[in-house]
């Protein structure tokens, strides 16, 4: 039997009926068509499904939709504003930190969660913040540089 949940996603309130075993990742992608959130391992290992829930970066494949009830969620679709792309998005593009792009939304949200709490992180803090996000393409250096550049522009 489905359960009713209320949650805020990218500033918009939703009231939805969900199956008790539906994950937040599936709710975002399959019900709400917010497919910027990717699914890789579905085991909490790769970080491609990272979103921000009440200020904290979480693996949305490990969060049940019912556990997200009452919470505020930010996905990659919520990063751009009327003023344009988020500075992190701009720096990722400028620095060539995106290759296949599969890890990018998760990286951006882990980085945003870090910068929201710690606007001037050092390299160790940046690497720790993205340690749960796997990238098979870039070697991480350009991603780290982009997060550093975005923090310096704040
Ligand atoms: S799909 Fe969620 S951590 Fe890999
Ligand atoms: S850009 Fe391909 S996995 Fe990171």
Query: Do 43 and 92 fall into the same domain?
Result: no
Average pLDDT score over residue span 77-106: 97
Q: Are residues 15 and 67 in the same domain?
A: yes
Q: Are 6 and 29 in contact (CB under 8 A)?
A: no
Separation CA 115–CA 55 (nearest Å): 11
Joined tokens for residue 33: 């068509």
Q: pLDDT value at position 152? A: 84
Q: pLDDT band for 144, please (50, 70, 90 cuts).
A: very high
Mean pLDDT of the region 53-69? 98
Counting Cα atoms < 13 Å in the Cβ hemisphere of 4 gives: 1
Looking at the fold, whether 96 and 60 belong to one and the same domain comes out as no
Mutate to test the pocket of ligand 1, among 43, 133, 135 (most ligand atoms within 8 A of CB): 43
Indicate which residue's Cα is closest to atom 3 of ligand 2: 135
**Position 81 in a domain:** no
- Residue that finishes a domain, picked among 76, 108, 132: 76
Pair 70, 92 in one domain: no
CA 73-28-64 angle, to 5 degrees, is 75
Question: Do 91 and 65 share a structural domain?
Answer: no
Does the structure show a pLDDT above 70 at 154? no
Pocket test for ligand 1, best of 44, 110, 135 (most atoms within 8 A of CB): 44
The predicted model scores a pTM of 0.96
46 ligand 1 Cβ < 6 A: yes
Q: What mean pLDDT comes out for the span 83-97? A: 97
CA distances 87 to 82, 93, 108, 112, 150, Å, are 13, 10, 10, 10, 6
- Report pLDDT digits (tens) over 96-137: 999 999 999 999 999 999 999 999 999 999 999 999 999 999
Contact by Cβ (8 Å): 68, 39: no
Residue 48, domain CATH: 3.10.20.30
User: Residue 38 Cα, ligand 1 centroid: separation in angstroms?
Assistant: 8
Average pLDDT rounded to a whole number, residues 1-6: 96
């Amino acid at each position: 039997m489905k359960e009713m949940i209320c949650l805020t996603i990218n500033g918009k309130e939703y009231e939805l009926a969900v199956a008790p075993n539906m994950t937040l990742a599936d709710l975002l992608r399959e019900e709400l068509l917010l497919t910027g959130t990717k699914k890789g391992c579905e085991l909490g290992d790769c970080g491609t499904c990272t979103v921000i829930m009440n200020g904290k970066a979480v693996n949305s494949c490990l969060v049940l939709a019912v556990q997200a009830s009452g919470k505020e969620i930010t996905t990659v679709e919520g990063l751009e504003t009327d003023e344009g792309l988020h500075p992190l998005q701009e720096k990722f593009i400028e620095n060539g930190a995106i290759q296949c792009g599969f890890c990018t939304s998760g990286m951006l949200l882990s980085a945003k969660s870090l910068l929201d709490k710690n606007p001037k992180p050092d390299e160790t803090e940046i690497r720790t913040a993205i340690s749960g996000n796997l990238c098979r393409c870039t070697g991480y250096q350009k991603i780290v540089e982009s997060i550093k550049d975005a923090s310096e522009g704040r």
